[in-house]
Copies of this chain bind each other. A is one copy, B any other.
Amino acid sequence: MAQKKRIKFKKPRIPKIPGIRRAEKRLKNDVPGTLTYTGNKEQKDINIEIIEYGPQQHRVSASKTINEALKTSKEGEVVTWINVNGLSQIDQIEKLGAHFKLHPLILEDIVDTNQRPKIDEYPEYLFVVFKMLYFDSQGVFTTEHISLVLCKGHVITFQESDGDVFDSLRQRIANAKGRIRNAGSDYLMFAIMDAVVDHYFIMTEAMSDRIETLEDQLFLSHTENDITQEIQELKREVLRIRKAVYPFREVVSRIEKLDNTLIDERTDTYLRDLHDHVAQVAESVEIYREMTWGLMDMYMTTISNRMNEVMKVLTIVSSIFIPLTFMAGIYGMNFDNIPELHYDNGYYYLLGAMVIVFLVLLWYFKRKKWL
């Protein structure tokens, strides 16, 4: 499991604006509907995993090309889940699109990793885009673009790279745990989205831990480090998760209300439940947002408190020794006629006076509670 490894957050830069890469490519004479992979997870191969199952059967196969994969897949009384890993092989995606008669704009959105979560309803299928947030095998926080096409008896998912959050789902299918083997492709769609949302919870927990850590740094260890930068990064993380979660909440809400024959009404209850969960994540993200923004104010007061501390030391030392130095200065003068200088115990009287001044000032600062 990813969370057993040490969780690292990639040094985040300002997230490149989604679509900028495609925008730049298209400026070089491309046409709307042209496929351009805009992510940064280039994979040499495309890995296609096909899981077919029904109440009685269960078959898993894998292939490296679409053609091979489509041969493998046999339609029948079963649900077929075609899981495509790797979006950089544009031609393979196009072949699959042609086979399933997907609209060119859908194919464009599948490979455009900057596409925000959305749902499009077509006569023959539903097309859903969302984001998978997870810690990859190195424990690095990763956002991955997922698209899902739901047709009668089929679910096709497209991911940027191998490695995902569906392992437990695969095992449930394999072991025939729960309803899934007896349910249709719509329930599979729900199960996939549900697995994604479960990982949103993991993400928000990681965020909560980071906020706690920063607060502890602020209050307990009183580190001198400038944590402004870390807070700013945290803000970006929150905005990034929010950007994945908020539109997805709308997507789930729209699926819930869809009146589409592809979705069995028994699945509705599960979708409602899913909507509850996404709403819960969204609420938490909002709370973390408030906490993160509040951190800045807290940091500000911490800095000010520290400056107060510094000022007090300066003031106490100066206020005590400057007057004393003045007193010493008086009797360092070379006037011919300074009678005190010739007192036998003049020196000791002065030292005594200095001690008294010292004590009075000490008492004064004590009373002011500066000491």
Contacts and interface: CB of A to CB of B under 8 A. Distances in A.
A33 B179 contact: yes
Interface residues of A, number: 130
A317 to B, nearest CB: 4
- Residue with the highest number of chain B CB atoms closer than 10 Å, among A33, A281, A333: A333
A103 B179 CA distance: 13
B314 A313 contact: no
Interface of A: 1, 3, 13-20, 22-24, 26-34, 103, 105, 108-109, 114-116, 118, 120, 168, 171-172, 175, 177-180, 190-191, 194, 198-199, 201-202, 204-205, 208-209, 211-212, 215, 218-219, 222, 224, 226, 228-229, 232, 235-236, 239, 243, 269-270, 272-273, 276-277, 279-281, 283-284, 287, 290-291, 294, 296-308, 310-315, 317-319, 321-326, 328-338, 340-347, 350, 369-370
A239 B287 contact: yes
Given A202-B23, A232-B298, A280-B18, A346 B341 contact: no
B334 A201 contact: no
Contact of A13 (B199, B212, B337, B344): B212
A8 B98 CA distance: 45
A118 to B, nearest CB: 6
A224 to B, nearest CB: 6
Q: Main secondary structure on chain A at its contact with chain B?
A: helix
A327 B293 CA distance: 50
A103 B228 contact: no
Contacts of A337: 343-347
Contacts of A336: 341-344, 346
A166 to B, nearest CB: 11
A243 B332 contact: no
A276 B14 contact: no
B303 A308 contact: yes
A-B pairs, top 5 by smallest CB distance, nearest first, are: A31-B178, A328-B329, A23-B201, A314-B315, A331-B333
Contacts of A194: 32
Contacts of A178: 31-34
Nearest to A242: B287
B321 A17 contact: no
Given A29-B172, A228-B219, A334-B333, A319 B322 contact: no
A205 B346 contact: no
Contacts of A179: 31, 33
A126 to B, nearest CB: 15
A279 B49 CA distance: 34
